[in-house]
Amino acid sequence: MGSVKDLELIKRPTSKDMGIGRFHFSDRYSVFDWGEMPDHIDGKGASLCLMGAYCFEKLEEKGIKTHYRGLVDAEGHVVRFDELNQPTNIMEINLVNVYRPKAYVENGKLKYDYSIYTPSLRNYLIPLEIIYRNGLPEGSSIFKRLEQGLITLKDLGLDHMPKPGERLSKPIFDVSTKLEESDRYVTWEEAKIIAGLSDDEVKEVKKLLLEVDNTITEIASKAGLINEDGKIELAFDPERRLMIVDVVGTLDECRFTYEGLHVSKEVARQFYRKTGWYKAVEEAKREAAAKGVEDWKSLCRETPPKLDPRLKQIIIEMYMAAANAITNRKLFDAPSLAETIKKYRDYVAEKL
């Protein structure tokens, strides 16, 4: 299905009814839209699966509709999180239809046709990533977009130039495309048109985003984590009611910090930002945009190196320790989150 998880199809969705599927979370990971990276992170798949399931169940307790059906245990039974006796990397979900926008080139620029998305369409994945930002940690795309003039302080509702690590008095809601070759930030007005949403549905999306943000912030804080930012994906069910899909509240969907240090996929991103491969990725994306080429990877002149082995081991422990802390159950044999962060702090200090 994708670079980090695979989809097992049990019952295909129709135009009127949802289907059933199972996510098989893998130990693969991806950064900067590259797809599968050269390393695998042991235990990552099961960690993400359990964090996501725990957060889905907490959302459902608050009356928020999701596509989550349960976890698949070692005997193949679909169970709730508290019924699980050992880690699993398989989650059962309800499925909706995915309609991909058609790519085309106009005046040398790559564009996408979203005309399939209309206000009468039902039972489908909304082609957007919906993002909340409670803070602006180092590595936040906001800084790059401000620098390049792609977004203004007014757009963000800010009255000053933010600094890395700044906490926001109220969350910023952001939105990007989901089904294009590279994710592209858009305005809320563009998002409304792309996804075939009404003004009321846009308001409902933002209300739902705030509820998810508050829930994940509450869960994270009990684990000693600060919920800096995160993303959700949404779908319409057969009655065109919004529901949370994909997965939420994990180290891949959220950017958490612990005493100022990242506890998320951002750890790997920071490692790769210092490599020649990252510069080649940025150049390839710019060249593809200029030439109207959809497959920017074909223009990339380098391949990603492997992670530093010591950092890789820290990331392995980080995923498992975070899953134990977030779910408040020691399902993984891993050091505590505090111990893991100390190892990471020592590693960062030695590399400076």
Q: Does domain 5-351 have CATH number 1.20.1600.10?
A: no
Give how far Cα 223 sits from Cα of 38, 52, 240, 337, Å.
Answer: 30, 15, 35, 9
Quick one: pLDDT at residue 108? Answer: 86
Q: Are 341 and 261 in contact (CB under 8 A)?
A: yes
Model confidence over 169-205: pLDDT tens digits? 899 999 999 999 888 999 999 999 999 999 999 999 9
What CA–CA distance (Å, rounded) separates 107 from 274?
A: 35
What CA–CA distance (Å, rounded) separates 10 from 161?
A: 50
Which residues have a Cβ under 8 Å from the Cβ of 212 and sit 6 or more positions away?
Answer: 59, 64, 132, 230, 232, 244, 248
Extents of the domains making up the chain = 5-351
Quick one: pLDDT at residue 181? Answer: 83
The DSSP string of 195-232 is: HT--HHHHHHHHHHHHHHHHHHHHHHHHTT-EEEEEEE
Which two structure tokens, joined as six digits, stand for 145? 């977009």
Q: Are 251 and 47 in contact (CB under 8 A)?
A: yes
Quick one: pLDDT at residue 1? Answer: 59
pLDDT interval class at 56 (50, 70, 90) = very high
The mean per-residue pLDDT over the stretch 209-234 comes to 97
DSSP H helices in 1-134: 44-61
- Mean residue pLDDT of the chain comes to 94
Nearest alpha carbon to residue 24 among 47, 3, 48, 5: 5
The mean per-residue pLDDT over the stretch 329-348 comes to 96
CB atoms inside a 10 Å sphere around CB 241 = 11
Q: Are 46 and 52 in contact (CB under 8 A)?
A: no
Q: What percent of the chain has pLDDT above 90?
A: 85
The mean per-residue pLDDT over the stretch 308-318 comes to 97
Nearest alpha carbon to residue 238 among 125, 64, 98, 122: 122
Pick 70 or 155 by higher pLDDT: 70
Q: What percent of the chain has pLDDT above 70?
A: 99
Model confidence over 116-158: pLDDT tens digits? 999 999 999 999 999 999 999 888 889 989 999 988 888 888 8
Residues 57, 61, 63, 64, Cα dihedral to 10°: -30
The values of phi and psi at residue 149, to 5°, are 75, 20
Which two structure tokens, joined as six digits, stand for 86? 């050992």
Please tell me whether residue 59 adopts helix, strand or coil conformation: helix
